[in-house]
Amino acid sequence: MKKNKGSLHIFDIMLIAFCLIAIGFALFNKNSSIQDPQVADPYGDLGINYVPLDSFFDKVGHFFGQSVNYGAFGSGIKLIITLFSLFFLTVIAYSAVRLLEVRKKEHEHLRHEIEEYAHHKKEKEQKKSGGGVSDNSQWIKVLEHTFSSNPAEWKMAIIDADIMLEELMDQLGFLGETLGDKLKSADQESFPELTRAWEVHTIRNRIAHEGLAFEVSNHESKRVVAIYEQIFRNYGFI
């Protein structure tokens, strides 16, 4: 997410709150009844003293809890700093909660975008390959034969697909006693798929007439069935 220039963010607010607390502590520390325990420099004669961290937090707590009278002005400043500190701490807590909510929404949005992308990609691949699997029961049977491990079913796939081709020719209004007659009554203008239809129908006839002598590999069966499929899809038959 982009940050808007001039806007305060959670780290800026934390820094401001800390500075206010530090300023208040510095202003009122001189009159505090708690003495700063000075600890000598452990490294020798450097002449540097420091205040332990636990003493610092003791003084901060004393600053907000002491009842020393600093006069009207000092008491007012202390009250203002206290209120500002509470305000900024509240803002920090609220900002942290909102930040978590925003991050959660970002993750949900990203997951949704990924799912949408995967869905559109799948649809695109299906359209590129000619669409998904048809719900036509005859065509499903053809595919089952095609992907069988039994060579006899590879031939059956072509025979069943040819039966479907004849049904398509009937729907398109071509006349004839056999599929061959119906193909002869068609031309490229009335039936643009005529050349491919003759190709696959010729292979079907060889299977029917030559029987076991005509061998069909699984690769050839899939190629022939793919041609039938293209013809059927071009006419919305499957």
First to last CA, the chain: 48
**124 and 49 in a common domain:** yes
Domain membership flag for residue 3: no
Contact 206, 142 (CB under 8 A): no
Instruction: Confirm if 102 and 110 have CB atoms less than 8 A apart.
Output: no
Q: Which residue has the higher pLDDT, 27 or 90?
A: 90
On whether both 23 and 95 belong to a single domain, the answer is yes
Domain end (from 128, 160, 190): 128
Flag whether 88 is in a domain. yes
Structural domain ending residue among the three candidates 75, 108, 128: 128
Task: Tell me the C-alpha distance between 208 and 163, whole Å.
Answer: 13
CA distance 77 to 24: 8
For 91, how many CA atoms within 13 A lie in the half-sphere containing its CB? 16
CB 206 within 8 A of CB 107: no
Residue 2: inside a domain: no
Print the domain residue range for 230. Answer: 137-234
What does the pLDDT look like over 156-191, one tens digit per residue?
A: 999 999 999 999 999 999 999 999 999 999 999 999
pLDDT (0 to 100) of residue 84 = 78
E strand residue ranges, 56-207: none
* 168 is a domain residue: yes
Q: Are 195 and 188 in contact (CB under 8 A)?
A: yes
In this predicted model, what pLDDT tens digit does every residue of 94-140 receive, in sequence order?
888 888 888 888 888 888 888 877 777 766 665 555 455 567 889 99
For residue 208, the surrounding DSSP H or E stretch is: helix 194-210
R_g (Cα) of the chain, nearest Å: 43
What lies within 8 Å, CB to CB, of 177 at 6+ separation is none
Strand-pair partners of 39: 50
Least confident of 83-87, 161-165, 191-195, 199-203: 83-87
CB atoms within 10 A of CB 200: 21
d(CA 104, CA 108): 6
Does this model's pTM top 0.85? My answer is no
CATH of the domain at 224: 1.20.120
Distances (CA, A) of 141 to 13, 109, 133, 134, 168: 69, 42, 12, 11, 17
User: What residues does 50 pair with on adjacent strands?
Assistant: 39
Q: Looking at the domain assignment, is residue 4 inside a domain?
A: no
Q: How far apart are CA 55 and CA 34, in angstroms?
A: 9
Overall domain count for the chain: 2
Dihedral sign (CA 181, 187, 190, 191):
positive
